[in-house]
Amino acid sequence: MIAESLIAKMETVKALLSGARHVAVLTGAGVSAESGIPTFRGADGMWRGELAEDLARPETFARNPELVWEFYNWRRSLVAQCQPNPAHHALAALEQRVPEMEIVTQNVDGLHQQAGSEHVIEMHGSLWRLQCTRCTHFEETRAELPPLPECSRCGNLLRPGVVWFGEQLPRGVLSVALESIASADILLVVGTSSLVQPAASFVHVANRSGAVCVEINLEATPNTGFMDFALHGKAGEILPALVD
Ligand code: BV8
Ligand code: ZN
């Protein structure tokens, strides 16, 4: 059920999208919530009593690689059974309609690509990527992994190909993301608590370049005040209504 005032705001955003030259979309775990994937900080953000945030750290991996691999293997097996939801499909459809569009995602589940989005920038890496802790070897695989996967080239321990807290984003990813957001005339921010940097600062980049900023999220965030429009509700309901 979408409230009256929300519908009025959505009509305005819909009209803006139909005339947009370049749309940039920043997504977080909330866009995959309706696919059945637990968000990072929601009530379901726990895993066996551990906060996902504590497990996504290099020091946790160094201390207890088995536990971190158990967490990531659990997420890989869960996400492998999940499908893109109407939010992902609406974004893929929007990309076909506007002259230029990129999705800058904090998610590592690969569901935007699975829904057919072509220009996806993965800021925090991917669940399906593995990288060696010693040599430069990396691989993409959806195969089930042993408790401590080893590098096929040098035999050392592999780690999940994701960016953990305190780690730099992959080379070049940040500049490509900033370029996309600084040249967009509309920034959609979908399903993120806007707590993690540097993604949480992107709204300021968009505001400085004069883009219209729209937050689509279940609840208000620390960035809601910087948005031109705050559409609070489910991404799987709001996005299809904006794009249909
Ligand atoms: C870095 C790993 C350089 C992969 C993740 C400046 C100031 C303060 C701190 C820092 C700073 N710069 C750097 C830091 C440190 C740190 C940071 O940001 N800490 C925060 C917590 C204070 N950042 C970093 O370390 C980054 N590196 O900047 O390098 C540097 C380094 C050190 C010091 C300075 C500079 C690296 C960040 C990457 C961390 N790795 N994940 C993985 O396993 O997934 S981040 C993790 O959080 C996930 O990737 C996730 O995507 C991300 C953000 O979370 P959200 O996506 O927003 O998910 P969340 O659950 O929080 O929110 C979901 C939202 O959806 C909610 O609002 C909910 O209401 C909504 N929702 C739910 N259902 C729906 C919905 N909305 C719509 N519809 C629904 N149905
Ligand atoms: Zn290796």
Same domain for 44 and 112, yes or no, is no
Q: Is 124 a catalytic residue?
A: yes
Split into its structural domains, the chain has a count of 2
Task: Decide: 195 in ligand 1 pocket, CB within 6 A.
Answer: yes
pTM confidence score: 0.96
Determine which residue's CA is closest to atom 66 belonging to ligand 1.
193
State the angle between helix axes of 235-243 and 86-97 in degrees (0 to 180), rounded to the nearest 10.
30
Domain range for 137 is 38-81+127-162
State the angle between helix axes of 4-18 and 235-243 in degrees (0 to 180), rounded to the nearest 10.
50
User: Would the pLDDT of 47 be above 80?
Assistant: no
Assign residue 26 the CATH number of its domain.
3.40.50.1220
Say how far apart CA 96 and CA 214 lie, in whole Å. 20
Same domain for 30 and 140, yes or no, is no
Domain boundary among 145, 162, 179: 162
Same domain for 213 and 113, yes or no, is yes
Distance 60 CA to ligand 2 centre (A): 20
| Annotated active-site residue in 89, 112, 124, 204 | 124
- Which tens digit of pLDDT belongs to each residue from 165-204? 999 998 899 999 999 999 999 999 999 999 999 999 999 9
Same domain for 13 and 77, yes or no, is no
Place of tokens 């996967």: 149
Task: Decide: 161 in ligand 1 pocket, CB within 6 A.
Answer: no
Q: Say if residues 25 and 188 touch (Cβ distance below 8 Å).
A: yes
- Which tens digit of pLDDT belongs to each residue from 131-173? 999 999 999 999 999 999 999 999 999 999 999 999 999 889 9
Q: Which whole number is the average pLDDT over 219-227? A: 98
Same domain for 231 and 200, yes or no, is yes
Indicate the pairing of strand 186-190 with strand 125-132: unpaired
Assign residue 142 the CATH number of its domain.
3.30.1600.10
Same domain for 191 and 237, yes or no, is yes
Same domain for 207 and 106, yes or no, is yes
